[in-house]
Chain A
Amino acid sequence: MEACRITARDLACRRGDRVLFAGLSLDLAGGEACQVVAPNGMGKSSLIRIIAGLLRPFAGSVERHGMAGLLDERPALDEHQPLGAALDFWHRLDPQSAPLDQLGLADLTDVPVRYLSTGQRKRAALARLIGQQAPIWLLDEPLNGLDTRGVAMVEDLVAGHVAAGGLALIASHQPFALPDLRRLDLATYTR
């Protein structure tokens, strides 16, 4: 996997009139994983979107080397399409096809996305993320809606990704079992 790195300096995030966090610095290299923890509404998702380059920080700068893949609550799959066809669209843009067997989706390829459950959607979004082959994984609440087997599967996937030299930034309020997982508590950066 290509070398990747995220360097964030003195980040601050403002939503509306509120500064959610300020003075946040972060340095992550390939092979490292970090979990962002904070209560709801403290800016976990905003931090992920700032690192992804989708949201401008109120202050500070982000340097990102390597392509980033984002997993959030929106699977970005066509609701009326069967799951197989919806994932095929991303396969045309991305280097690899999604490992459906591994994610327990092999039997669902004919089912329209709108009939999938929350957990199944999350698995489908993971399939899209894996197909993208991005060295940087930005995961916003990756465990939401997943059963215990799904949680273990995501933890295995992230462990495999990090072991292969990838980088993972995980925003989650749930415990995430991963060896050498760094923790970043947003509450220490609030004013």
Chain B
Amino acid sequence: MSTLAALLRRDLARLLPGMRGGGSLLPLLFFLAVAMLYPFAIGPNPTLLAATGGGVIWVAALLAAILPLDRLLASDVEAGFFDQWALRGVSEELLVAVRMVAHWLSFGPFIMLAALPASALVGIDGDKLRTVELGLLAGTPGLAAIGVIIASVTVALKGGGAALSGLLLIPLAVPLLVFGAGSLSTGGEGGLALTGAISLLLVAIAPFAGGAAIRAAREG
């Protein structure tokens, strides 16, 4: 138990925005910048903005979730942390699960907060805002899971992982975006439920996929 607390504390200190030596505010600012610039690109048509704004918020959330991927795991593997944890009998699955929780905490709640001004900028309010927020609550854990899966698969590719990350992201993220953003137009409550289901599935798979990938990277 104390091991778990120590790991989570360290991960949060490294990932949470504003912590010393920790993560940056860049993903959050990036998310807000997209929502701010989108109306300028589309033009001042309220109907069009409200109809497409939800999808843009989802894409912006996805991109904000993968911005910190390059330092999510690779730096700890290079610095020998994972080897030291392995010698102490801490399983890679547990480490990846803790990292996934910390990663979600470092962007999920902030994105949900930032979605309030972002929704106002693209003219989403009322029930639709509620659907956006619930969708993000259901979907961002899945985005965090996709993040740690991609980070662990590309962990051994020193510097060359960015291109592969992008390619891996597309198929993994499609279901979340289809149902998450779809809940705003045609999906409704069912869309939210499916977003949550896919999210849970990804969260359940991620520790095992990530743990296996990190162990495989040792052999390289």
Contact = CB atoms under 8 A, between A and B. Distances in A.
Contacts of A76: 79-81, 83-84
A67 interface: yes
A55 interface: yes
Interface of A: 52-56, 67-70, 72, 74-81, 89-90, 92-94, 128, 132, 134
A89 B84 CA distance: 12
Contact of B86 (A54, A89, A94): A54
Given A78-B21, A89-B10, A69 B80 contact: no
Given A55-B219, A76-B81, A81-B21, A93 B6 contact: yes
6 contacts: A52-B87, A74-B78, A74-B79, A76-B80, A89-B10, A93-B3
B20 interface: yes
A81 to B, nearest CB: 7
Contacts of A72: 80, 83
B130 interface: no
B99 to A, nearest CB: 15
B158 interface: no
Contacts of A53: 86-87
Contact of A54 (B2, B79, B83, B90): B83
B8 to A, nearest CB: 11
Contacts, number: 58
A132 B87 CA distance: 10
Interface string B74-92: 0000111101101111100
Contacts of B10: 78, 89
Interface of B: 2-3, 5-6, 10, 14, 20-21, 78-81, 83-84, 86-90, 218-219
Contacts of B20: 80
B187 to A, nearest CB: 43
Contacts of B3: 92-93
A82 B20 CA distance: 11
Contact of B21 (A55, A74, A80, A89): A80
Given A70-B83, A74-B80, 10 more contacts: A53-B86, A56-B219, A69-B87, A74-B83, A76-B79, A79-B79, A89-B10, A92-B5, A93-B88, A94-B88
Nearest to B80: A74
Nearest to A76: B80
Contacts of A67: 87-89
B218 A55 contact: yes
Contacts of B6: 89, 92-93
A52 to B, nearest CB: 6
A80 B195 CA distance: 38
Contacts of A128: 84
A123 B40 CA distance: 57
Contacts of A93: 2-3, 6, 88, 90
A79 B14 CA distance: 11
Contacts of A81: 21
Contacts of B84: 70, 76, 90, 128
A68 B87 contact: yes
A54 B220 CA distance: 11
Contacts of A56: 219
A92 B2 CA distance: 7
